[in-house]
A and B are shown apart, each in its own frame.
Chain A
């Protein structure tokens, strides 16, 4: 009997040690950002710690993280999501207060007690450069209300896509001089009967194929979908987008690895990969995606909208755009 107990005890200790070793040699990263495998590989090459990337879509992000956290089984060491998502997680105690020393190089407004902003999910007007004549390319957002764009626009559903809702509200707060002007723009856009898709992902395909001519979308697709004939309209007004954020979790299985990952993620090297290979707009000073003239564009971070605000505006846009 003693022998059996000894064997079981040894196996248990071995399993615990093995488990701890496995946890110490990897970092689990939950993110909604896409195509970041090159950063994970480069992190492993540099630190010897394996980075495990779990992609979770924005609509399932809070449900997944909160379910795991409340059951005491949150597997993530580091989390990346839009800022409002991380703010909710911070309120629930999911995030630690770790501030990376690398963040010193970033503008001050990007540091939010444990949450670090590193990029902007920037939105622009993306058009088919083979089918749209240069003189027809919009020069201001208002140009989208011209009837010549009727049935030629594709955009994410303005009644439910949080980034598109925030973008439309951002136009009101940052671009248009009066609410009336903004409302005229929104109504004019709605009158041109844009085609709605679920998110930004499906917006470039109809423009590439010529089914539609212009999209309210992200310039990063010019890189990721090359050699598709896509270009962005260099409008006179600033571009805008919701901030992308990152934080270490309060219950990280590998807290040291988590800090190492956060430090690496914010480094010039990782941000250059993100900008150059994925076309993301990053907040690390002096790094831009290789998209013509994008370094000259003014890109604003949209004010963080609460969920209640997004829902209210979603209902409003549902009516204006006659979504149902």
Chain B
């Protein structure tokens, strides 16, 4: 027991140090006069932020956007995770890769792709539909709340997928079989057994998506702003960006409400999943994850899934490939195809800063994700297994930096790191990334932890194994799907991270996001797309490699 409390305290100190410092700087900034973190005390920024007459409308837009996108992400992820993990649907590997592809694409680029597909003037899909059905007006307008919900939902879907899929993979089919034996159909079993048992994973995914959507900036900026639809993130930008002296303290004052909502959601989640024993599916009594045969539904479902993923994910990626080959933004035509070349690719490959960025981002992706997952493993263990008030604090701490809107948290880190000797080095990025995106490691791991019965650890302890041996020999092998998910989420995030990189990167520590910003700032969508595709290829290779290693490790435990 003493050892458990010691572990919790050590983790609170580590995670607290990582996440509290930038947030404290932002709190100081929000109460300080002037532009820096340490000025004369004032409440002006809070008064100005919360008496804005536009706020009620902004909040209503934000609620619809956030809940809508989180629902789209979670439902799609649930559907895909079920078919990919629990059924004999063909082409699983391909579907799995496509399901997590959106998180490998810089969000700004994915949003621009959807604008090219569904803008009301000459969106490619709109033009096709107009021609096919002889319509006068474009049937879709991406610059709308539903457009924002769709694109944000798709971008966050991999997060939900990577949390739900490991839980789905380690689901004990005996529970479903018992239900079927008692006369329930597939639908009834799904509604009464499968989904309730997966509640912690589904809720974790949903809550993480909500928090992410609240902090999201790319979709509200690229799709919302042209449609004059403002949510909290763009409202913050709009509030502080008028003029040259941008006041991030004021942005932090608005961001505090997002932080409070996120922390509340975490406590709500803990309350809703408090009886964790209910969700245990891997116990010492046997563990047989098996596959449900789809029989006649196999081929139709294969085509439905294929079509859905093609339209929602593959098509925007194809648009990226197309954009990287044409000399400027063009609607597909004979002229466009005749002008295709590799000029943008050459420009990117020959650019020394792009190459340096690639190396730095790879280092941060691989090394950062590995360190992040190791830390997450201990934190998830403490959150799920120890479950004291202290572990609740630890869980909330892990969400602190993550909950802040991206455009603000980077400044918090800068205010903090500038007082340390590592300022302007790649280590600030490494620490900042891990601190901010810790929930990406913790969530899939804690969802997977919930399902492993404590008896397994107790048996190991009875046999004389210490906590580290139990972790290494019993827990970690059973957690492989969670570890793989956490690593993928962190590595792909670190590869395309924008919010912190923009503020913390300096010559020598440039990362891909910095290049992305340069190209997008100059409106060079061709180069941006070429770099985006390189990022997708690297991320896909990493994902495939880690999934392969994970798959190799898993049979050994069955």
- Given contacts A54-B507, A211-B121, list 16 more A-B pairs with CB under 8 A: A52-B508, A59-B241, A71-B418, A75-B424, A159-B238, A199-B521, A205-B329, A206-B121, A208-B329, A209-B122, A209-B331, A210-B122, A212-B121, A225-B523, A310-B243, A310-B244
CB closest chain-A residue, reference B520 = A201
Q: Are B328 and A60 in contact (CB under 8 A)?
A: no
A71-B418, A160-B241, A198-B221 known; A324 vs B503 contact (CB < 8 Å): no
Q: How far is the CB of A255 from chain B (nearest CB, A)?
A: 19
Q: How far is the CB of A47 from chain B (nearest CB, A)?
A: 17
Query: Which residues A275-294 have CB closer than 8 A to chain B?
Result: none
Q: Are A311 and B523 in contact (CB under 8 A)?
A: no
A61-B244, A62-B35, A209-B329 known; A201 vs B237 contact (CB < 8 Å): no
- Interface of B toward A, CB cutoff 8 Å: 35-38, 54, 57, 112, 116, 119, 121-122, 143, 221-222, 225-226, 228, 230, 237-238, 240-246, 248, 327-331, 339, 353, 411, 414-415, 418-419, 423-424, 502-503, 506-508, 514, 517-518, 520-525
What is the CA–CA distance of A310 and B244 in the complex, to the nearest angstrom?
9
| Cβ contacts under 8 Å, A169 to chain B | none
What is the CA–CA distance of A322 and B228 in the complex, to the nearest angstrom?
8
User: What total of A-B pairs shows CB separation below 8 Å?
Assistant: 151
| Cβ contacts under 8 Å, A142 to chain B | none
Query: Which residues A300-324 have CB closer than 8 A to chain B?
Result: 307-308, 310-311, 314-315, 322-324
What is the CA–CA distance of A54 and B121 in the complex, to the nearest angstrom?
37
Q: Are A63 and B521 in contact (CB under 8 A)?
A: no
What is the CA–CA distance of A227 and B329 in the complex, to the nearest angstrom?
11
Q: Are B243 and A67 in contact (CB under 8 A)?
A: no
Q: Are B523 and A204 in contact (CB under 8 A)?
A: yes
What is the CA–CA distance of A162 and B116 in the complex, to the nearest angstrom?
27
Q: Are A201 and B241 in contact (CB under 8 A)?
A: no
What is the CA–CA distance of A320 and B283 in the complex, to the nearest angstrom?
65
CB closest chain-B residue, reference A60 = B503
Main secondary structure of the interface of B (DSSP, over half): loop
A219 at the interface (CB under 8 A from B): no
Q: Are B248 and A205 in contact (CB under 8 A)?
A: no
A221 at the interface (CB under 8 A from B): yes
What is the CA–CA distance of A102 and B339 in the complex, to the nearest angstrom?
44
- How many residues on the A side are at the interface (Cβ–Cβ under 8 A)? 64
A34-B521, A59-B241, A224-B522 known; A157 vs B411 contact (CB < 8 Å): no
A10 at the interface (CB under 8 A from B): no
Residue of B121, B222, B353, B507 near A210 (CB, 8 A) is: B121
Q: Are B244 and A35 in contact (CB under 8 A)?
A: no
Q: How far is the CB of A71 from chain B (nearest CB, A)?
A: 4
| Cβ contacts under 8 Å, B423 to chain A | 73
Residue of A59, A67, A227, A315 near B328 (CB, 8 A) is: A227
Q: Are B228 and A311 in contact (CB under 8 A)?
A: no
Q: Are A307 and B418 in contact (CB under 8 A)?
A: no
Q: Are B502 and A228 in contact (CB under 8 A)?
A: no
Q: Are B524 and A224 in contact (CB under 8 A)?
A: yes
CB closest chain-A residue, reference B330 = A209
| Cβ contacts under 8 Å, A311 to chain B | 242-243
What is the CA–CA distance of A119 and B224 in the complex, to the nearest angstrom?
33
Give 6 closest A-B pairs by Cβ, nearest first: A228-B328, A307-B243, A209-B329, A314-B242, A52-B507, A310-B243
Residue of B36, B237, B241, B327 near A227 (CB, 8 A) is: B327
| Cβ contacts under 8 Å, A53 to chain B | 507
A160-B238, A203-B523 known; A64 vs B244 contact (CB < 8 Å): no
A70 at the interface (CB under 8 A from B): yes
Q: Are A88 and B244 in contact (CB under 8 A)?
A: yes
What is the CA–CA distance of A70 and B353 in the complex, to the nearest angstrom?
29
A62-B244, A66-B35, A209-B331 known; A196 vs B502 contact (CB < 8 Å): no
Q: How far is the CB of A205 from chain B (nearest CB, A)?
A: 4
A238 at the interface (CB under 8 A from B): no
What is the CA–CA distance of A195 and B38 in the complex, to the nearest angstrom?
39
Q: How far is the CB of A142 from chain B (nearest CB, A)?
A: 24
Q: Are B418 and A205 in contact (CB under 8 A)?
A: no
